[in-house]
Structure 1
Amino acid sequence: MKRRLLDILACPMCRHYPLDLFAFREGDEIDEGAIVCSNCKRWYPIIEAIPHMLPDELRKADEDLSFMERWKEKLPKEIVEKGKPFNLVMEK
């Protein structure tokens, strides 16, 4: 994902703008990372340079939780523990 894409993205659930970006692995583009809505606390993974910004009902818990587990040290603690629609605390 190109950083400049963040200039036009809004949260698909609450329409909040701007969103926060956390880049975990990048070269010319952000290959792995997360986009976070500071308003509703939803997070959206960036996988293989593609932001997965789907509404809650279209997201897959197992895929999102696997991504979060892999990157939990680089995500904000608030998102890991209280992020929507999935977080690592609710899983336990």
Structure 2
Amino acid sequence: MTELNKSLQAEGSDSFIAALGETTRLYGITRLSRESGLARESLYKTFASGNSPRYETVARVLRAMGLKLQLVRQYENATGVSQAKLPIDE
């Protein structure tokens, strides 16, 4: 899971998709297919190099592995105070 978190820090989604693809293979494509309801062939194609999977597919795969994406504040401003309050802060 550390590699997935690191890949989220990188610019662009390619590194995250590549790390998630590796994680799916380690988890087991057959097991993931059974638990996500997605066909094995579809999972292989989804995480093949150069593909851009839909959010729904990524969310389904993460959920099947017991994972989820979560938003957190990345940084504070120079005074140490969080940036302007956003609707997600409530």
TM-score (norm 2): 0.30
Structure (1 or 2) with the greater helix fraction: 2
Structure (1 or 2) with the greater strand fraction: 1
TM-score (norm 1): 0.29
Task: Report which of the two structures shows the higher radius of gyration computed on alpha carbons.
Answer: 2
Higher relative contact order (CA 8 A, sep 6+): 1
